[in-house]
Structure 1
Amino acid sequence: MKQVNVDVAVIGGGTAGLGSYRAAKAHTDSVVMIEGGPYSTTCARVGCMPSKLLIAAAESVHQIEKAPKFGIHPQGEIVINGREVMERVKFERDRFVGFVLEGVDEIPAEDKISGYAKFLDDNTLQVDDHTIINAKRIVIATGSRPAYPAVWNELGDRLIINDDVFNWDDLPKSVAVFGPGVIGLELGQALHRLGVETKLFGLGGQVGPVTDPEVMAYANKAFNEEFYLDADVKVESMKRITTESGEDRVEIQFINKQGELETNIVEYVLAATGRRPNTDKLGLENTSIELDERGVPTAD
């Protein structure tokens, strides 16, 4: 087992980890960064940047559809080529990731440790089965991952998270989005505008990050004028099925806004039901760090 002694150890090589590493290096050369997965950032790979590319494509369609109100009449029907849309999204996404990786490549190899870190005590980390790190200071920058009910795993590859959207080669015909938060709303609206049959479902009536009741009611009304949104749906059942033509689909039975049982069959269920912090496998119980009810270190 290799032994390493440093001033600062940063767990995680994403946005916060890279920023922490550079900030620490401004004060000491004795810094390591530990990363178990691919380098790059959530923002560049599967977050803000590719989602805004998808939204930009959707906005282009939306502006063309609105053009006649201004006396501008595009000739012929609007044709949305899903393969071309996703090809551009992935090309630009990969370019953004490349910029991040260029920065990672500039970090000295001896400062990068590959593997998953676990606390042995307040100042000691074990990385997989190959390295023990003793550090005066340790930065936890492990990010988060999507969270959804475990029973949904029965849907197999028909269940996707926002990360998966940006690996599509083509746009699907239909999607049910669960979770009308920021991620669910922006992806749901973009997919709808790009011609995907989209229904958006939530629980509890919350729409986006809005807290004012009047603003939320207006937001709910505005979104519903464009596509189906039920922010407090009652789902009776959701299961994977095989259609008569042999296609894998998801059948959702829910009580619609008229109080009737409705059956909706979609290609994918997109889980945008929140995220949970990646702190559960760090061995924080081996430290004196104060944790909140979710097992996450408390921050002032």
Structure 2
Amino acid sequence: METYDVAVIGGGVAGLQAAFRAVARDRTVALVEKEVLGGTCLTRGCIPTKAMVRSAEVAHLARRAEEFGIDIEGEIEADMNRVVDRKDRIVEDVVDVNRHEVAETDAVDLYEGTATFEDPHTLRVDGDAIGADQIILATGARPFVPDWPGVDEVDPLTSRELLDLDEVPDELIVVGGGYIGLECAQILGRLGSDVTVVQRSVILKQEDQQLIDLLRERLEAEGIELREGTGVERLEAKGDRVLVHGADEDNEPVTITGDELLVAVGREPVDGDLNLDQAGVETWGPGWIETDDQLGTTQENIWAVGDCIGEQMFTHVARYEVEVAIRNALEDGEEAVDYFAAPYAVFTDPQLGRVGMTLEEAEDAGYDAMEAEWTFEHLGKALCLGETDGMMKAVADRETGQLLGFHCLAHEGAELVHEAIVVMNDRGTVEELSDAIHIHPTMAEGVNDTAYTAAIRLGRREW
């Protein structure tokens, strides 16, 4: 049996980072991956979808060319094979880099197969026995498809299969109005599909709804039909058509038809054949790995990071969790995770970048909070770009001025939110954000203006 200081199960972004961080601390590492290095983010999620978002953006901008004084003759059409080929080339480049880095790191041995626990310190990977002092679980998550009547008959797409379509569906039904569903809906809509989104409640219900109202207007203006308040009851295949049967908010029956069905209603854990009981690792809910605030599991030498713990399922959060878990596992640390300034984005157009709380969440958390907003109608760079849709909001504590949240629905909103992340990470105030000099003309001036508006309303700055 080969023995190591650390075994990492899962070769996605979190698992790769855990392996390299352990090596940097002079540990030997066994890295186990049953599919492709890079995991969901690099091969089936973040990177490939953003490659396709870009193709869709180009198609959309080309249709707007006349606004900018540019004439383009003929219809703007997507060649789906070339769109997918471009995406595949990007993914292949990323995977090749990861594989090269692992191969060049002498202290890491890659095991390509499925890991199974025999005891808290022993794994078996397709016949190979591996021993390790510390074990880090980074097994990720996968798209969840509910067991609706008719689901086997229809065989719906998930975000994974959507990435490999060889043609644009004439009519696409998307069940799920979260960030994955809306991103995919806009991609296919811009590439030529007639898209209907079916959502049981409202789209992006956890977000500031004033911003979501603006996003809703934009999506509908692009021809995406939003069937909010509609629940799915059963699916049916009828010839080459897909039928989604359900009920609307008044409990009236509805049937929606299309050529393809995409299900984007959430994710579920991937535990495979881990045999967690043998390791003494407990789970919660549908199988998420139970951790404490230091990312330790119920077995003292086993840690878990990333999507598999069922918390904030974002790659950048997983990378942060790796840093905490490695320090605790290998340096006898007692560091607790802190998600106060953990951001995320929805890569629709306009993008929604967010860090921290909404006003309602801040009040529920016991803060005497206020909010200030800023729009882009008169911002010079937004006018030049033709990208004036959206709004920014700052949420702050009335007494101290501490920045509690920042929400940015804007062109490149995911980029614009980052300086608010830095301020919140240091528990800073709105005036720290408002007093910083911003380059003119930029979209980032809107961040400055939003924070300055909040500081004025709090009486911490004057016009």
TM-score range, shorter chain: 0.7 to 0.9
Task: Look up the equivalent residue of 1:104 and give its one-letter code.
Answer: V
Structure 2 runs not aligned, ≥5 long: 294-463
Q: Distance in 2 between matches of 1:279 and 1:69?
A: 51
Relative contact order, higher structure (CA 8 A, sep 6+) = 1
Deviation at 1:190, TM superposition (A): 1.0
Task: Say whether 1:196 aligns with 2:193.
Answer: yes
Q: Distance in 2 between matches of 1:66 and 1:218?
A: 20
Task: Say whether 1:216 aligns with 2:208.
Answer: no
Task: Say whether 1:277 aligns with 2:269.
Answer: yes
2:423 paired residue number: none
1:239 paired residue number: 236
1:79 paired residue number: 77
Q: 1:199 to 1:298 in 2, by over 3 A?
A: same
Q: Distance in 2 between matches of 1:72 and 1:261?
A: 47
Task: Look up the equivalent residue of 2:178 and give its one-letter code.
Answer: G
Task: Look up the equivalent residue of 1:251 and give its one-letter code.
Answer: L
Deviation at 1:8, TM superposition (A): 0.7
Runs of 4+ with deviation above 6 angstroms: 256-260
Deviation at 1:228, TM superposition (A): 0.6
Q: Distance in 2 between matches of 1:38 and 1:93?
A: 11
Q: Distance in 1 between matches of 2:221 and 2:249?
A: 14
SS at match of 1:168: coil
Which region of structure 1 is more displaced relative to structure 2, 119-128 or 56-65?
Answer: 119-128
Task: Say whether 1:251 aligns with 2:233.
Answer: no
Deviation at 1:220, TM superposition (A): 3.2
Deviation at 1:250, TM superposition (A): 1.2
Which of residues 278, 288, 294 is equivalent to 1:286? 278
Deviation at 1:29, TM superposition (A): 4.2
Deviation at 1:115, TM superposition (A): 2.1
Q: Distance in 1 between matches of 2:80 and 2:128?
A: 46
Deviation at 1:202, TM superposition (A): 1.5
Q: Distance in 1 between matches of 2:80 and 2:95?
A: 22
Deviation at 1:124, TM superposition (A): 2.1
Deviation at 1:85, TM superposition (A): 2.5
1:231-266 deviation digits (Å, cap 9, x = unpaired): 321335421121xxxxx3312234568987554332
1:119 paired residue number: 117
1:38-73 deviation digits (Å, cap 9, x = unpaired): 333322211111111211111112212223334444
Q: Is the 8 A contact 1:90 1:166 kept in 2?
A: no
Q: Is the 8 A contact 2:102 2:110 kept in 1?
A: no
1:35 paired residue number: 33
Deviation at 1:28, TM superposition (A): 2.9
Q: Is the 8 A contact 1:154 1:240 kept in 2?
A: no
Q: Distance in 1 between matches of 2:191 and 2:71?
A: 19
Q: Distance in 1 between matches of 2:247 and 2:285?
A: 34
Q: Distance in 1 between matches of 2:279 and 2:14?
A: 22
Q: TM-score, normalised by structure 2?
A: 0.57
Q: Distance in 2 between matches of 1:107 and 1:282?
A: 26
Deviation at 1:210, TM superposition (A): 4.0
Task: Look up the equivalent residue of 2:147 and give its one-letter code.
Answer: A
Q: Distance in 1 between matches of 2:34 and 2:141?
A: 14
1:204-229 deviation digits (Å, cap 9, x = unpaired): 22x23743233334433432333111
1:297 paired residue number: 290
Deviation at 1:164, TM superposition (A): 1.1
Trace 1:129-278 onto structure 2 (pairs within 5 A): 130-151=127-148, 153-156=151-154, 158-205=155-202, 207-208=203-204, 210-226=206-222, 227-235=224-232, 237-242=234-239, 248-255=240-247, 262-278=254-270
Q: Distance in 2 between matches of 1:69 and 1:196?
A: 23
Q: 1:215 to 1:282 in 2, by over 3 A?
A: same
Q: Distance in 1 between matches of 2:161 and 2:10?
A: 21
Q: Is the 8 A contact 2:276 2:282 kept in 1?
A: no
Trace 1:38-117 onto structure 2 (pairs within 5 A): 38-108=36-106, 111-117=109-115
Q: Distance in 2 between matches of 1:98 and 1:153?
A: 36
Q: Distance in 2 between matches of 1:39 and 1:256?
A: 42
Q: Distance in 1 between matches of 2:251 and 2:61?
A: 35
Structure 1 runs not aligned, ≥5 long: 243-247
Q: 1:277 to 1:237 in 2, by over 3 A?
A: closer
SS at match of 1:69: helix
Which of residues 5, 23, 28 is equivalent to 1:25? 23
Q: Distance in 1 between matches of 2:166 and 2:153?
A: 21
Q: 1:80 to 1:118 in 2, by over 3 A?
A: closer
Q: 1:43 to 1:236 in 2, by over 3 A?
A: closer
Q: Distance in 2 between matches of 1:93 and 1:136?
A: 33
2:380 paired residue number: none
Q: Is the 8 A contact 2:29 2:107 kept in 1?
A: no
Deviation at 1:117, TM superposition (A): 1.5
Q: 1:290 to 1:236 in 2, by over 3 A?
A: closer
Q: 1:299 to 1:134 in 2, by over 3 A?
A: same
Question: Taking every aligned residue pair, what percent have the same amino acid on both sides?
Answer: 31
SS at match of 1:150: coil
Which region of structure 1 is more displaced relative to structure 2, 35-44 or 178-187?
Answer: 35-44
